Amino acid sequence: MRVVGVAEEFAPDDNWAAMPVAFLDTETTGTDSRVDRVIEVGIVRGEHGEIQSHHSWLINPGMPIPKESTDVHGIKDEDVADKPSFAEVLPEIIEALRGAIPAAYNATFDKGFILQEIERSGLRVADPPPGARKDVTWIDPLAFAREFFKGKGESRALGAVAERLGVSLVNAHRATDDAEAALRVLYALSRDERMPDTYAALIQEQRRLMQLQLEAQRFWRK
C-alpha cells in the first residue's frame, strides 16, 4: 500500500537520501500566497548526499515590493524591474524540479507560493513533476529539527539549525543560498539514527510529527 504523499515516480522502500532531491526556496513580496508574489526562486538539487546543481531566478512580481519584505531579503524594485515574470520562467522551474523529490524548509510556505504562482500563470504544465502536484508531500527538515532539538530552548529557524549542525549559511534569505543550506541540513539530519531511511517511512514520519506539532501549537494558543 502506497503511503499518502509519496510521489509515484519513486520506489517507496528505497533509501531517500540516494534519490534525486530538488530543494526549493522562495523570496516573496509578503507572506500570503493569495495576494503576494514570488520574486526569487532557488532550486538546489542533490543526490546520494551530494549537491548536484544550482538554479536561480529573479522574477518581476508585477507589484511593488514592500519595504518590510526588502528588509528581510534585500531585494528591491529596481533589482527585478527588468526581470521576467513567473510565467516566463515557469518552464525552466518545471525542468529543474523534474525527476526529483521536492523539498523545502517550512515547506508549506514555499509549496503554497509555487502552486499558487503556477495556477496564476494560466499555463498548463504537461506531465507535471512531483514538485508541481498538490498531492505530493514535500520533504521538510523543519519537522525533524523541531523534534530532534525539542526542549533545548533554541530557535528552529534555518540559520540557527544550520549553525547547530555545522552547515554554512552566508547569504541568509536569498533563495539559492537558503536552499543549499537547507539541503545540507537535511543530509546532516539523515545521519541521526531517528531519521527514517526509506522514502515512504520518511514521509509517513514527517506527516506524523507535523500533526503532533500542529496540535501542540493549538494547545498553547488556548
Q: What is the CATH number of the domain that holds 45?
A: 3.30.420.10
What is the pTM for the complete model shown? 0.94
Query: 48 — alpha (psi -120 to 50), left (phi > 0) or beta?
Result: left
Q: Is 46 helix (H, G, I), strand (E, B) or coil?
A: strand
Least Cα distance to 57 among 33, 104, 30, 91 occurs for 91
On whether residue 47 sits in a domain, the answer given is yes
On whether residue 149 sits in a domain, the answer given is no
Q: How far, in Å, are 101, 103, 161, 187 from residue 166 at the CA level? A: 24, 20, 9, 12
Cell digits of residue 84: 521576467
CB under 8 Å to 157, separation ≥6 — which residues?
A: none
Helices 107-121 & 86-97 angle (0-180, nearest 10): 130
d(CA 71, CA 5): 35
pLDDT confidence of residue 77? 97
Q: How many CB atoms lie within 10 A of CB 56?
A: 16
Cell digits of residue 162: 544550520
Give the whole-number percent of the chain exceeding pLDDT 90.
88
pLDDT of 1 strictly over 70: no
On whether residue 8 sits in a domain, the answer given is no
pLDDT confidence of residue 220? 64
Q: How many CB atoms lie within 10 A of CB 137?
A: 22
How would residue 202 be classed by pLDDT, with cut points 50, 70 and 90? Answer: very high
Q: How many CB atoms lie within 10 A of CB 220?
A: 6
Place of cell 515557469: 90
- Structural domain boundaries enclosing 186: 16-140+155-221
On whether residue 199 sits in a domain, the answer given is yes
On whether residue 3 sits in a domain, the answer given is no
d(CA 49, CA 182): 12
On whether residue 94 sits in a domain, the answer given is yes
On whether residue 45 sits in a domain, the answer given is yes
For the beta sheet containing 21-28, the strands, ordered from the edge strand earlier in sequence to the opposite edge, are 50-58, 38-47, 21-28, 101-103
On whether residue 145 sits in a domain, the answer given is no
Q: What confidence tens digit (pLDDT) does each residue in 77-107 have?
A: 999 999 999 999 999 999 999 999 999 999 9
Q: Provide the residue type at 219 as one letter.
A: F
Continuous H helices in 122-174: 141-148, 158-164
Give the whole-number percent of the chain exceeding pLDDT 70.
97
Q: How many CB atoms lie within 10 A of CB 99?
A: 14
Cell digits of residue 157: 529557524
Q: Domain count for the chain, please give it.
A: 1
